[in-house]
């Protein structure tokens, strides 16, 4: 099926009761009030997306650039996962959670610059049967789609119906680049046409990969809109953490309390944002030692700590990524506190060095200096802290195998295709936003640590904005010191 035709309804014949008589079709197509349409004002991000397109245009003179939103993904039979447009598409259009599946942004080269056009499946007329008979895309089933004029006004972009994408595909030549991982079918079509044009057997993907890399690198420094969205995502996430603490009694009472934590956070994410920016890690007791514990099937017990790594994604797709490790009963035990304060010291040491001009990798090094010193002081390492920090040793990393920081934005692990020299080895610049998230994890069966440490896992994760002269912890309002965390939990215990 050509990409640009309407998808047929998926087979539901053995349970479908939609009448098929001509009498019914004529009847349901008639007697609808005119749509009361008005065009919205351009959304706030439209101007920012235009500036991003303009920067990209300058980098690719004469090239046709195709940035698909991607298709809905099947979860099972005729049921799809919630649709999420490709992040590069959202970045360049400003269309987030309300994007239409199968849309495509095309930057068509012109004499100078590019003409940007957004192709999408505009709403179907009442003279089609799509609106009542197609459960995947029909208006009766999933709600109305916007018109071409509405989206054009909303995003400040020229829009065309998806059928007209065919004429773009007809022009595809070896001067065309596509974001390959957004839409498999469309990429295959584009590849087929490029092969014909170049009269070769295999597609040279280098140009496509460079486009993806350049977009990742463009996202390293956030614009004003992105920073404001990230602040809002952090504020919503704070409310989600408050909600979880407020529900602790019910959470402790349930045999799968971790699932209740996930559910409570998710309620806030759906109410105040689009969804969660990644699967919530609700890791109580020894589960905290499993870095990406997302099964969340365990109990939450008094006397233990829960590591909650969760972030709310807004309708624009920008997400927070926050971790707090909380003593369920409201007070840290002496050993919990000792580990917690070491991790906090590592986080603070890393934050203290952040300013424009340092290398991104130095942030991790600052955190690791503290982790090595603490674990050496506690007698856990077979060598001194200095020796452990030697790149040839790294004994302390047994207790923290992950990195300390990653960029954050429209993706939780943002800018992932940036070159190493721009990311890990790159210089920190004003407008960058990244996490600082050191941890210490003592596995329940780790024979290198005394019994009292075993099963304790702590991570503290904040979201950091680089400013002209230093840095701002934009999640500092979510309690993180021992007294502040214990005070926060008073809301639950009242003690
Ligand atoms: N939530 C995943 C991470 O912290 O990177
Ligand atoms: Mn993170
Ligand atoms: Mn996280």
DSSP of 179-191: -TTT-HHHHHHHH
In a domain, 286, yes or no: yes
Measured from the CB, is residue 462 less than 6 Å from ligand 1?
no
Pairing of strands 322-327, 305-310: antiparallel
Instruction: Choose the final residue of a domain: 218, 244, 263.
Output: 218
Distance CA 380, CA 250 (A): 37
Residues 139 and 78 in one domain: yes
308 - beta bridge partners? 282, 324
Containing H/E element for 266? helix 257-272
pLDDT digits (tens, 9 = 90+) for 184-198: 999 999 999 999 888
Distances (CA, A) of 182 to 26, 261, 366: 39, 32, 37
- pLDDT surpasses 50 at 265: yes
Nearest to 414 by CA among 479, 360, 348: 360
d(CA 480, CA 460): 8
pLDDT band at 2 (very low <50, low <70, confident <90, very high): very low
In-domain check, residue 60: yes
User: What are the strands, taking DSSP E only, across 72-175?
Assistant: 74-76, 79-80, 104-109, 114-120, 158-161
Does pLDDT of 336 surpass 50? yes
**Among the atoms of ligand 1, which is closest to the Cα of residue 437?**
4
Residue 14 lies in a domain: no
Residues 6+ apart with CB under 8 A from 344: 460, 480, 481, 482
Tell me the residue range of the domain where 341 lies: 224-493
Q: What is the pLDDT of residues 56-87, one digit of tens each?
A: 999 999 999 999 999 999 999 989 999 999 99
How far apart, in whole angstroms, are the C-alpha atoms of residue 88 and residue 103?
A: 12
- Token pair listed for 449: 């640590």
8 A C-beta contact, residue 56 and residue 65: yes
Question: Given 203, 218, 233, which residue is the final one in a domain?
Answer: 218
Residue 131: which of 56, 25, 60 has the closest Cα?
25
Q: Is 338 exposed, middle or buried (0-12, 13-18, 19+ CB in 10 A)?
A: middle
Whole-angstrom distance, CA of residue 300 vs CA of residue 309: 15
Give the pLDDT mean for 14-39.
Answer: 87
Give the number of the atom of ligand 1 that is nearest the alpha carbon of residue 406: 5
Largest CA distance in the chain: 86
CA terminus-to-terminus distance, the chain: 65
Question: In angstroms, rounded to a whole number, what is the distance separating the alpha carbons of residues 490 and 495?
Answer: 6
Q: Are 197 and 282 in contact (CB under 8 A)?
A: no
In-domain check, residue 87: yes
Atom nearest to 309 CA in ligand 1: 1
Reported as a pLDDT band with limits 50, 70 and 90, residue 429 is: very high
309 CA → ligand 1 middle, Å? 7
When pLDDT is averaged across residues 169-187 and rounded to a whole number, the result is 96
E strand residue ranges, 416-479: 433-436, 439-442, 456-459, 462-466, 471-473
Query: With a 6 A CB cut-off, is 321 part of the ligand 1 pocket?
Result: yes
- Supply the pLDDT for residue 6: 67
The tokens describing 379, both together, are 């007698």
Å from CA of 461 to ligand 3 middle: 6
Question: In this structure, are 210 and 229 located in the same domain?
Answer: no
Strands (E), 328-444: 433-436, 439-442
pLDDT digits (tens, 9 = 90+) for 371-425: 999 999 999 999 999 999 999 999 999 999 999 999 999 999 999 999 999 999 9
Q: How many CA atoms lie within 13 A of 431 on its CB side?
A: 10
| Whether 281 and 330 share a structural domain | yes
Residue 304 sits in the same domain as residue 447: yes
Q: Assign 37 a pLDDT band (cuts: 50, 70, 90).
A: confident
Q: Is 48 inside any structural domain?
A: yes
How far is C-alpha 279 from the chain's CA centre? 10
CATH number for the domain that contains residue 188: 3.40.350.10
- Both 283 and 394 in one domain: the answer is yes
- β-partners of residue 424 are none
- Expressed in angstroms and rounded, the spacing between residue 39 Cα and the centre of ligand 2 is 39
What is the average pLDDT across 25-32?
Answer: 91
Instruction: Say whether both 313 and 409 belong to one domain.
Output: yes
Distance CA 386, CA 195 (A): 56
Q: Which residues surround ligand 2, an ion (CB under 5 A)?
A: 321, 435
- Which atom of ligand 1 is closest in space to residue 281's alpha carbon? 1
The pLDDT of 134-139, averaged and rounded, is 87
Residue 186 lies in a domain: yes
Per the rule left: phi > 0, alpha: psi between -120 and 50, beta: everything else, 357 is: left
Q: How far does Cα 187 stand from its chain's mean position?
A: 23
Confidence at residue 5, expressed as pLDDT on a 0 to 100 scale: 64
* One domain, residues 189 and 228: no
209 and 242 assigned to the same domain: no
**pLDDT exceeds 70 at position 493:** no
Instruction: List the structure tokens of 60.
Output: 């690719």
d(CA 414, CA 153): 29
Distance, CA of 322 to CA of 219 (rounded, Å): 20
Please tell me if the CB atom of residue 437 comes closer than 6 angstroms to any atom of ligand 1.
yes
> What angle separates helix 224-246 from helix 257-272, to the nearest 10 degrees?
140
From the CA of 287, how far away is ligand 2's center (Å)? 17
Task: Identify the pLDDT of residue 331.
Answer: 97
Tell how far the Cα of 184 is from the centroid of ligand 3, in angstroms: 29
| DSSP H or E stretch at residue 244 | helix 224-246
Q: Which ligand is nearest to the CA of 463?
A: 2
Residue 494 scores a pLDDT above 60: no
In a mutational test of the pocket of ligand 1, which residue from 290, 319, 321 has the highest number of ligand atoms less than 8 Å from its CB? 321
Query: The CATH number of the domain where 396 resides is what?
Result: 3.90.230.10
Within-domain flag for 3:
no
Q: How far apart are CA 471 and CA 371, in angstroms?
A: 22
Mean pLDDT of the chain: 95
Pick the last residue of a domain from 175, 192, 218: 218
Tell me the two tokens of residue 399. Answer: 């207790």
**Total domains present in the chain:** 2
Q: Ligand 1 pocket check: which of 269, 403, 461 to mutate, most ligand atoms within 8 Å of Cβ?
A: 461
Specify the 3-state DSSP secondary structure of 449.
Answer: coil
Q: At what angle do helices 334-352 and 482-493 cross, to 10 degrees?
A: 130
Q: Is 280 helix (H, G, I), strand (E, B) or coil?
A: coil
1 or 121: which leads in pLDDT: 121
Q: Quick one: tokens of 97?
A: 């959670």
Is there a domain that residue 184 lies in? yes
In this structure, the answer to whether residues 208 and 280 fall within a common structural domain is no
Q: Do residues 121 and 7 make contact, with C-beta atoms less than 8 angstroms apart?
A: no
Q: How confident is the model at residue 1 (pLDDT cuts 50, 70, 90)?
A: very low
170 and 309 both lie in a single domain: no
- Is the CB–ligand 1 distance for residue 278 below 6 Å? yes
Q: Which of 102-116, 128-142, 278-292 has the lowest mean pLDDT?
A: 128-142
For residues 385 and 130, which has the higher predicted lDDT (pLDDT)? 385
Distance 406 CA to ligand 2 centre (A): 6
Q: Are residues 183 and 256 in the same domain?
A: no
Same domain, 397 and 256: yes
């Amino acid at each position: 099926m050509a990409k640009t035709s309407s998808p047929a309804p998926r087979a539901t014949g053995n349970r479908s009761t939609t009448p098929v008589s001509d009498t019914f079709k004529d009847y349901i197509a008639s007697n609808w009030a005119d749509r009361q349409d008005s065009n919205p004002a351009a959304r706030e991000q439209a101007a920012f997306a235009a500036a991003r397109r303009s920067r990209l245009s300058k980098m690719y003179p004469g090239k046709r650039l195709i940035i698909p939103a991607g298709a809905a993904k099947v979860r099972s039979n005729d049921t799809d996962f919630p649709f999420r447009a490709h992040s590069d598409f959202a970045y360049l259009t400003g269309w987030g959670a309300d994007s239409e599946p199968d849309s495509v942004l095309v930057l068509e080269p012109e004499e100078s610059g590019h003409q940007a056009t957004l192709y999408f499946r505009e709403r179907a007329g009442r003279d089609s049967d799509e609106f009542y008979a197609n459960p995947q895309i029909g208006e009766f089933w999933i709600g109305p789609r916007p018109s071409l004029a509405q989206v054009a006004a909303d995003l400040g972009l020229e829009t065309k119906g998806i059928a007209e994408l065919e004429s773009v595909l007809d022009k595809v030549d070896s001067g065309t680049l596509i974001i390959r991982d957004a839409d498999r079918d469309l990429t295959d079509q584009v590849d087929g046409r490029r092969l014909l044009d170049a009269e070769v057997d295999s597609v040279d993907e280098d140009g496509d990969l460079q486009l993806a890399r350049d977009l990742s690198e463009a996202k390293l420094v956030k614009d004003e809109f992105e920073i404001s969205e990230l602040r809002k995502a952090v504020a919503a996430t704070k409310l989600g953490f408050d909600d979880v603490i407020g529900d602790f009694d019910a959470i402790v009472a349930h045999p799968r309390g971790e699932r209740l934590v996930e559910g409570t956070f998710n309620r806030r994410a759906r109410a105040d944002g689009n969804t969660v920016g990644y699967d919530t890690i609700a890791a109580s007791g020894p589960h905290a030692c499993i870095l990406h514990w997302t099964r969340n099937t365990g109990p939450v017990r008094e006397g233990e700590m829960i590591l909650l790594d969760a972030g709310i994604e807004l309708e624009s797709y920008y997400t927070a990524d926050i971790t707090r490790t909380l003593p369920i009963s409201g007070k840290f035990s002496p050993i919990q506190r000792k580990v917690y304060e070491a991790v906090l010291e590592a986080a603070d040491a890393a934050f203290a060095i952040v300013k424009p001009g340092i290398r991104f990798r130095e942030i991790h090094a600052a955190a690791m200096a503290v982790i090595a010193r603490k674990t050496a002081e506690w007698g856990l390492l077979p060598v001194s802290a200095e020796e452990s920090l030697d790149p040839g040793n790294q004994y302390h990393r047994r207790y923290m195998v992950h990195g300390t920081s990653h960029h954050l934005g429209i993706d939780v692990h943002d800018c992932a295709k940036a070159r190493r020299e721009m990311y890990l080895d790159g210089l920190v610049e004003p407008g960058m936003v990244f996490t600082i998230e050191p941890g210490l994890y003592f596995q329940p069966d780790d024979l290198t640590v005394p019994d009292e440490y075993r099963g304790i896992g702590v991570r503290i994760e904040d979201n950091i904005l680089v400013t002209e002269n230093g840095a701002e912890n934009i999640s500092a309002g979510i309690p993180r010191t021992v007294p502040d965390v214990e005070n926060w939990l008073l809301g639950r215990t009242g003690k």
